[in-house]
Amino acid sequence: MTIPTFVDLQGFIVGKKFVAKEVAVLREGTILSHYIFTCPIPWNYLTKSEKHCASWLGAYHHGLQCEDGMIPYSMTKRLITMAVIGAEWNWLQPSRPFTDSERRKVILLQDNARSLIAKNILETIYNLGWDILPHAEYDPDLCIINKSKLNETEFDTWFSEHGINCLGMEVQSMLEMFARAENLHGAQYKKYIGDGDTKTFAALLKHDDEVEKKECVNHVQKRIGSKLRKAKKTNKNIGGRGAGKLTDKLINELGTYYGLAIRRNSNDLEKMVDDVWTIFYHKISTNEKPMHERCPSGPNSWCKWRRAEAIGTLESYEHPPPLDSTVQKVIKPIYEDLSKEDLLKRCLGGFTQNNNEAFNKTIWQFMPKHSFCSKNIIEIAALTATCIFNEGFKPVLKIMEIMGITIGPNADFFACERNETRIQQAQQLMTYEVIERKMVRCNEMLETLQNFEEMEGILYGPGIAD
pLDDT: which is higher, 221 or 78: 221
Any idea how long the chain is? 466
Helical pair 432-456 and 248-263, crossing angle rounded to 10 deg: 150
Mean pLDDT within 226-251 = 85
User: Cα separation of 16 and 156, whole Å?
Assistant: 31
Q: Which of 57, 76, 60 is nearest to 14 (CA)?
A: 57
Q: Is 215 helix (H, G, I), strand (E, B) or coil?
A: strand
The residue extents of the domains of the chain are: 5-133, 169-215, 354-429
Q: Which residues of 404-442 are buried (b: 16+ CB within 10 A; e: fewer)?
A: eeeeeeebeeebeeeeeeeeeeeeeeeeeeeeeeeeeee
User: Cα separation of 39 and 36, whole Å?
Assistant: 10
Tens digit of each residue's pLDDT (9 = 90 or more) over 267-277: 999 999 999 99
Residues 6+ apart with CB under 8 A from 366: 380, 381, 384, 385
User: Cα separation of 190 and 205, whole Å?
Assistant: 11
pLDDT at residue number 115: 60
Which residue type occupies 141?
D
Mean pLDDT within 20-27 = 85
Residues forming beta bridges with residue 22, ordered by sequence position: 10, 36
Residues 6+ apart with CB under 8 A from 297: 306, 309, 310
For the chain, count helices (H), then strands (E): 18, 7
Q: What is the DSSP letter of 217?
A: H
- Residue 203 pLDDT level (bands cut at 50, 70, 90): confident
The secondary structure of 273-337 as a DSSP string is: HHHHHHHHHHHT--SSS---TTSPPSTT-S-HHHHHHHHT-GGG--PPPPPPHHHHHHHHHHHHH
The C-alpha R_g of the chain, in whole angstroms, comes to: 29
Query: What is the pTM (predicted TM-score) of this model?
Result: 0.58
Mean pLDDT within 107-120 = 62
- Residue 338 pLDDT level (bands cut at 50, 70, 90): very high
Tens digit of each residue's pLDDT (9 = 90 or more) over 359-375: 888 888 888 877 777 77
Q: Which of 243, 149, 201, 195 is nearest to 360 (CA)?
A: 195
H-helix or E-strand spanning residue 122: helix 119-127
Give the least confident one: 27-31, 99-103, 404-408, 425-429: 99-103
User: Cα separation of 214 and 266, whole Å?
Assistant: 12
Are 204 and 178 a contacting pair, CB within 8 Å? yes
User: Cα separation of 210 and 82, whole Å?
Assistant: 55
pLDDT at residue number 94: 41
Average model confidence (pLDDT) across the chain: 79
Burial class from Cβ neighbours inside 10 Å (0-12, 13-18, 19+) for residue 138 reads: middle
pLDDT: which is higher, 96 or 330: 330
Burial class from Cβ neighbours inside 10 Å (0-12, 13-18, 19+) for residue 272 reads: buried
Residues 6+ apart with CB under 8 A from 102: 85
pLDDT at residue number 137: 58
pLDDT at 204 over 90: no
